[in-house]
Every structure is written in C-alpha cells, then in structure tokens.
A and B are shown apart, each in its own frame.
Chain A
Amino acid sequence: MMLVFGAAVIINRNPVASALSLVVSFLALAALFISLDAYFIGIIQVLVYAGAIMVLFLFIIMLLDLRAEELRKINWIASAGGLAVALALTVQIFSVVGSFQAAKQPFPPLARHVLSGAEGSTSDDVHRIGLLLFGNYNLPFQIIGIVILVATIGVVMLSRRETR
C-alpha cells in the first residue's frame, strides 16, 4: 500500500492529490517502522512527516494556488532516460539484495526485557534512544540544533519582502 501511494505521488497531476497520497505513504511507512519494533521512530514519523512537513507542503500548495499541470509537450527523450535510470537502479537493488546472504535470514528475536520496560511500560526504547542521544551523540545533537537555527534564520531571510 505504501508503494502504491508512493507511486501515486509521482503519477498524480494535481499537486494536492499528490501531497495527500504522500501522507498515506508516510503513515504506511510508520506502520512498517512499528512492525520493526522501532516505536519511537514510528511515532516521530507520524508527528514530524505526516504532521508538520505535510502541513507545510499543503500550505505552500494552497498559498501558491497551484492548478493541475496542463499537458505540455513532454520531452520524451529526457523522460525515457530518467525512467531508464530509475529502472536500472531498481534492477541493481534487486540483484544486490538477492546476492546478499544475510538478507535471507529472518530477524533475530528481541530479549523480553527490551520489549517490556523495567517499570512495566510497554517499551523503553525512548529511554534508550534518549540515553544515546544525550550521551554518545551529544555533540551531533547540538550541531543539529545549530542547523535548525540557521535554517530558521535562512527561511525568514528568504521570505522577507524587500523593503526599500
């Protein structure tokens, strides 16, 4: 289902329909994350992607009042080239995964205490990710804060109307 809606993002001619199928695709991806026992990442996926980023996309689409693209003369050579490269990439990924021995093994089971946290909560992976984030990865965490700050200032500078 995720792949169907992911393809719909590309195929739809109307930007709003495209953005909405992207939401469904992200929700299905969050379900896949949760099926892989990554509850924190799944929830972050729903909150950040399906919530914040998609609202941003829809807001911009509505703000610019984009209509469905008119059928314009398609550059067939360029389109065929792009499609061929994408197909070649798919074939290569299939062959690499097919010849990868570890890919044929099922997932090893998780220990009991990982799935059920110490305090009887359902899962303690937020706790573990938090420990890593503020312990081992403290410096990258601060750098990411700077990145967000710079992005915010950049967006404000970009969208400021010239006042002269």
Chain B
Amino acid sequence: MITLGDYLIVSGILFSIGFAGVMLRRNIIIILMALELMLNAANLSLVAFSRFHVDPSGAPNYNAQVFIFFIITVAAAEVAVGLAIVVALYRLRQTTNVEDITTLRF
C-alpha cells in the first residue's frame, strides 16, 4: 500500500538531489536545471498532500493544484529570465562557469 510518506520521501530525495546540484556543479545552466528539480520536488509534495486531504464531498483539495499552477508559471518565467542572463553573461565573458565570474565576490 502506497502511503503519503512514500511520496514525501521521494519528494525529499528529489529536493536533496537538486540542492546537491546547486552546491556541487559549476555550470550555471546545470545549476538552473537543479533549481527546476527543487521546484518540482515541492510540486510533488503539494500534489501528494492535495490527494491526501479529501474534503467531505470526496474531491481532493484543489487549492494545492491551483497553487502548483502558479508555481509552474513562475518557474517558467524564472527560467526564461535566468537563461537570458546566462546568454548576456556569455556574450560578455565567453564562459558559463561560476568560478570565472567572481566580479561581485567580496
């Protein structure tokens, strides 16, 4: 029997993979992909809770699904802006490695 906890653990592992990606990888595009993984992990736990919280009429809680709709929209906008910044940066420096872009480092 699949329980709520199984989905939460999968979501947690996915979030940790994304977090490790942000921490370990040095390529900005891969870092953006790892950010997408983390957003999707949050979506998965929201859907699991939405399915778990069945209201008296027998329908899942659709507020969570509307929320996921907003998250997906914001993620799409974020990726578009992030990739535009990467392209502008590449035009300026010819690199996508975060270790080569340390102008703002203290």
Centre residue among A66, A147, A155 by max chain B CB count within 10 A: A155
Number of chain B residues close to chain A: CB under 8 A: 70
List B1-50 residues whose CB lies under 8 Å from chain A.
Answer: 1-5, 7-10, 12-21, 23-27, 29-30, 32-34, 36-37, 40, 43-44, 47-48, 50
Does A104 touch B at the CB level, under 8 Å? yes
Known A132-B63, A144-B70; judge A64-B77 contact (CB<8 A): no
Task: List the interface of chain A (C-beta within 8 A of B).
Answer: 2-3, 6-7, 9-10, 15, 18-19, 22, 25-26, 29, 32-33, 36-38, 40-41, 44-45, 48-49, 52-53, 56-57, 60-61, 63-64, 66, 69, 79, 81-83, 85-87, 89-90, 93-94, 97-98, 100, 102-114, 125, 128-129, 132-133, 136-137, 140, 144, 147-148, 151-152, 154-155, 158-159
Q: Can you list 26 A-B contacts with CB-CB less than 8 angstroms, sorted by A residue number?
A: A3-B13, A3-B17, A9-B21, A9-B33, A32-B47, A36-B48, A37-B60, A40-B65, A41-B68, A41-B69, A64-B96, A66-B27, A83-B20, A89-B12, A97-B12, A107-B2, A107-B54, A108-B54, A110-B58, A111-B59, A112-B58, A128-B62, A136-B66, A140-B70, A147-B74, A151-B77
